[in-house]
Chains A and B, each alone.
Chain A
C-alpha cells in the first residue's frame, strides 16, 4: 500500500493539517461513508463548521458527496475520494517521518 504513494511533497498538506478537517478526514478514512449527523456526532463539530470544512475538502477533490434515498427521504452520504485517501496517507507518512526525526 505504501509503495503506491506518490513522492513525498515538500510541505505538509495544510488543508488536512487543520484540526477540524483532520478529524473529518481521519473519520472518513476508517469508514466507507457517513452522513452529516454521523460526522457531527463523531467529530463534535457544529453543523455550520462541518459544512464549511466539507466544502473546502470537496473543492479540493478529497470528498465525494453522494445523494441517495432512504425510503422517500433524500440522504447525503459523504466519503473520501481516491485522491482524498492518497492525500491522507501521504499526510500520515509525512507527519510520522517529521515527528520521528525529532530528538527525544
Chain B
C-alpha cells in the first residue's frame, strides 16, 4: 500500500523507464567515435571539409538511431505517455541546453581543427580549449542528468569532459598524436554499454500484443 501510494516514486519510475533502452548511451558513444574518426582522418591528410562531413555524418547516425529507436523500438515496448506539465517544461529546457551544447561543441571542434592545421587563433596552444571543453561538458551533462533524472549521464559526462584535457596533456608531454584513441576508446566503451543495455531491454520487453487502438 505504501509503495502504491508513494506517488512521487511512481512518477519517477515511469519517467526513468524511458532510459532503460540504452539509446542515449549509443548516441553519445557515436559522438565520441565521430571525434575519434575526425582525429584519425586528420592523420591521413584529408581536407577539413571532408573531415567535418564524416564527423557530422557519424553524429547524425547516432542521433538518428536514437530518434528512430525511441519511436520504433522503445515506444512499442514501453508504450506512449504524456507526463505532467512540469516534466514537459523540463524537456523544453533539455532541448535548449542540448542545442547550445552542440553549437558550442561544433565551434570548439572547428577552432581545434583550425589550430591544429596552423590557421587558428592559438586558443588550443593557450590551454583554453581543454578548459572550455571540460567546463562545457561538466555543466551540460550535469544539467541533462539532473533534468532527465538519468544518473548514468553523470558518468558519461565525466568521460566526455576528460577526453580533450587528456588529449591535450598527451600532446604536450609525449608529442604523440593519439587523439583517435583518446576519443575512440571511451567512445567504444560508452557505445558498448549502450548496446548491452539495449540488448537487455529487448530481451526484457517484447512488443506486447495489445490493442492500443481501443
Give residues in A with beta carbon < 8 Å to B: 19, 22-23, 26-27, 29-42, 47, 65, 67, 70, 73-77, 92, 95
Contact = CB atoms under 8 A, between A and B. Distances in A.
A66 to B, nearest CB: 9
B76 interface: yes
Contact of A30 (B10, B209, B210): B10
B76 A42 contact: no
Contacts of A37: 76-80, 208, 210, 212
A25 to B, nearest CB: 9
B213 A41 contact: no
B5 A31 contact: no
A31 B85 CA distance: 9
B10 to A, nearest CB: 6
B175 interface: no
Given A26-B5, A31-B14, A67-B214, A77 B208 contact: no
A36 B10 contact: no
B5 A35 contact: no
> Which applies to chain A's interface (DSSP): helix, strand, loop or mixed?
helix
B148 to A, nearest CB: 16
A33 B82 contact: yes
Contact of B79 (A36, A74, A92): A36
B85 to A, nearest CB: 8
Given A41-B78, A47-B208, A74-B214, A29 B83 contact: no
A30 B81 CA distance: 11
B80 A35 contact: yes
Contacts of B213: 67, 73-76
B149 interface: no
B205 interface: yes
29 contacts: A19-B4, A26-B4, A26-B7, A30-B10, A31-B81, A32-B83, A34-B80, A34-B81, A35-B79, A35-B80, A35-B212, A36-B212, A36-B214, A37-B76, A37-B212, A38-B79, A38-B80, A40-B79, A41-B17, A41-B78, A41-B205, A42-B13, A67-B213, A73-B213, A74-B214, A76-B212, A77-B80, A77-B82, A95-B5
